[in-house]
């Protein structure tokens, strides 16, 4: 169990590092540790790939030129088929009139049913090049920086010369524990909190012209991760609460006539708040408490009438589509802080002005959709190193916010290792 490079996590960030390192130096002995029985973290979902800066990147760590040149490398590995867009200028002009920006993004979409095949191809390529991909192998938080070892959960330990840690958003706390034990300073003061909207295709027809439209509204609210075709809202399970998310199957699976997307508000917290992550977890637990252990959903019609949704709200009459996620019919007003709800609601009204329809009474709002990728470690260089031998990359370390950005952060850490070899 002695390696030149050990990578914890086989998501796009980990894969980005592994490909770069083995392609530049085939003699490297590299191991990727993955706690699940299948690779590749977030790639395993919908796999919408955004190839336009700053989507997927954390702007404070990246500039457009560098991001673009790394995106070319990402593209070579993921071989995207780009989606066509139409009428963009029309939507952009309408948006600008109400202080909203629609960003035109170069996009590709794989679909949840097809992403496993893409992942298999990537892993096979890595294995053929000599990279060892160790599935069902969970790294513990015990890292001995003197001996350069990582303890595994099964009791073994593994030795590295360089260690790249890429545990993703779900590994947020894992990473914080490592930083605490190694004495690495970090700030954790930004979170994205919002709702997921589910509606009928005819209420959000822009998706026929632009698959995942990125609107930026006033007050740091934006649309995020739009899914259509065969679109589903899902639960993302954490230890004692669930968040909502969404994905879509590939075009081969036909349509279910629904669209879903997130409306997120970025919250930048100031002293004396101790931790954005803790605040987000607190809000998520509150929502799950009110929802009897599940996220909450409410029809727009009920929300406007100032009443909670009930099971009866989800019938075949006026409210004529069934929710695709098993959430608890309830009242968002009890769970979402009012400042956040106000800004989300204002943004929904703007969206309804640009393309009338989204505020149809049948539209469902699910809560909580929260993104906890706001660790800001004290990096010692541009390669996301936190010590001479340890790198923290991907969404968990706040160095990216999407598949392509995560992959690019992996390339950057690999470049740093190659430069200092």
Ligand X SMILES: Cc1cc2nc3c(=O)[nH]c(=O)nc-3n(C[C@H](O)[C@H](O)[C@H](O)COP(=O)(O)OP(=O)(O)OC[C@H]3O[C@@H](n4cnc5c(N)ncnc54)[C@H](O)[C@@H]3O)c2cc1C
CA atoms of 177 and 163, how far apart (whole Å): 16
Figure out which of the listed residues 3, 5, 6, 11 binds ligand X, where binding follows CB under 6 A: 11
Stretch 158-197: interaction string toward ligand X, x if CB under 6 A? --------xxxx-x--x-----------------------
Figure out which of the listed residues 3, 9, 150, 276 binds ligand X, where binding follows CB under 6 A: 9
Q: Assign 43 to helix, strand or coil.
A: helix
Burial 48-61 (b: 16+ CB within 10 A, else e): bbbbbbbbbbbeeb
Q: Confirm if 356 and 204 have CB atoms less than 8 A apart.
A: no
Instruction: Please list every residue from 242 through 281 that binds ligand X, using CB under 6 A.
Output: 245, 247
Figure out which of the listed residues 36, 73, 132, 151 binds ligand X, where binding follows CB under 6 A: 36
CA atoms of 14 and 16, how far apart (whole Å): 5
Figure out which of the listed residues 5, 406, 408, 411 binds ligand X, where binding follows CB under 6 A: 406
Q: Confirm if 401 and 408 have CB atoms less than 8 A apart.
A: no
Least distance (Å) from ligand X to the CB of residue 361?
27
Cβ-based nearer residue to ligand X, 33 or 287? 33
Cα 315 to its chain centre, rounded Å, is: 32
Q: Does 80 bind ligand X (CB under 6 A)?
A: no
CA-to-CA dists, residue 156 to 137, 391, 412, angstroms: 10, 22, 29
User: Of 74-82, 125-133, 312-320, 401-409, which segment contacts ligand X by CB under 6 A?
Assistant: 401-409
Least distance (Å) from ligand X to the CB of residue 83?
12
User: Of 33-41, 76-84, 115-123, 257-265, which segment contacts ligand X by CB under 6 A?
Assistant: 33-41
DSSP codes of every residue in 90-123: HHHHHHHHTT-EEE---EEE--TTTHHHHHHHHH
User: Of 41-49, 83-91, 176-184, 362-370, which segment contacts ligand X by CB under 6 A?
Assistant: 41-49
Stretch 340-379: interaction string toward ligand X, x if CB under 6 A? ----------------------------------------
Q: Does 150 bind ligand X (CB under 6 A)?
A: no
CA atoms of 316 and 319, how far apart (whole Å): 6
Stretch 46-65: interaction string toward ligand X, x if CB under 6 A? xxx-x-----x---------
Q: Confirm if 303 and 344 have CB atoms less than 8 A apart.
A: no
Q: Is the dihedral of CA 221, 227, 50, 168 positive or negative?
A: positive
The residues with which 214 forms a beta bridge, in sequence order, are 103
Least distance (Å) from ligand X to the CB of residue 401?
6
Binding site for ligand X (CB under 6 A): 8-14, 33-36, 41-42, 45-48, 50, 56, 138-139, 166-169, 171, 174, 225, 234, 236, 245, 247, 394-396, 402-403, 406
């Amino acid at each position: 169990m002695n390696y030149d490079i050990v990578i914890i996590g086989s998501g796009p960030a980990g894969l980005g590092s592994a490909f770069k390192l083995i392609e530049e130096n085939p003699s490297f002995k590299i191991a990727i540790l993955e706690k699940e029985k299948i690779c590749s973290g977030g790639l395993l979902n919908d796999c919408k790939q955004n190839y336009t800066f700053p989507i997927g990147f954390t702007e404070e760590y990246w500039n457009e030129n560098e991001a673009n040149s790394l995106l070319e490398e990402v593209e070579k590995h993921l071989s995207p088929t780009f989606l066509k867009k139409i009428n963009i200028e029309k939507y952009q002009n309408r948006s600008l009139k109400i202080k909203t920006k629609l960003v035109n993004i170069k996009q590709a979409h794989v679909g949840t049913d097809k992403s496993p095949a893409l992942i298999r191809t990537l892993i096979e390529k890595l294995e053929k090049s000599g990279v060892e991909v160790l599935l069902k192998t969970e790294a513990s938080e015990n890292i001995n920086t003197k001996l350069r070892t990582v303890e595994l959960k099964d009791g073994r330990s593994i030795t590295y010369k360089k260690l790249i840690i890429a545990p993703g958003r779900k590994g947020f706390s894992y990473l914080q524990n490592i930083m605490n034990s190694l004495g690495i300073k970090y700030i954790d003061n930004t979170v994205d909190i919002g709702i997921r909207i589910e509606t009928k295709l005819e209420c959000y027809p822009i998706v026929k012209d632009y698959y995942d439209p990125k609107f930026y509204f006033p007050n740091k609210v934006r649309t995020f991760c739009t899914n259509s075709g065969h679109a589903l809202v899902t639960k993302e399970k954490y230890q004692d609460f669930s968040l909502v998310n969404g994905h879509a199957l590939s075009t081969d699976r036909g349509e279910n006539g629904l669209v879903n997307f997130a409306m997120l508000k970025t919250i930048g917290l100031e002293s004396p708040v101790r931790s954005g992550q803790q605040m987000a977890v607190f809000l998520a637990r509150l929502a799950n408490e009110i929802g009897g252990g599940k996220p909450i959903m409410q029809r727009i019609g009920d929300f406007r009438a100032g009443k909670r949704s009930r099971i009866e709200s989800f019938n075949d009459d006026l409210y004529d589509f069934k929710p695709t996620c098993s959430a608890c019919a309830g009242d968002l007003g009890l769970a979402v802080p009012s400042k956040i709800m106000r800004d989300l609601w204002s943004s929904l009204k703007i969206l309804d002005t640009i393309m009338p329809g989204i505020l149809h009474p049948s539209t469902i709002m699910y809560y909580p959709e929260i993104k906890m990728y706001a660790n800001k470690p004290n990096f010692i260089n541009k390669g996301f190193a936190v010590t001479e031998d340890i790198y923290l990359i991907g969404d968990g370390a706040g160095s990216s916010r999407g598949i392509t950005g995560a992959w690019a952060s992996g390339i950057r850490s690999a470049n740093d290792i190659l430069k200092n070899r």
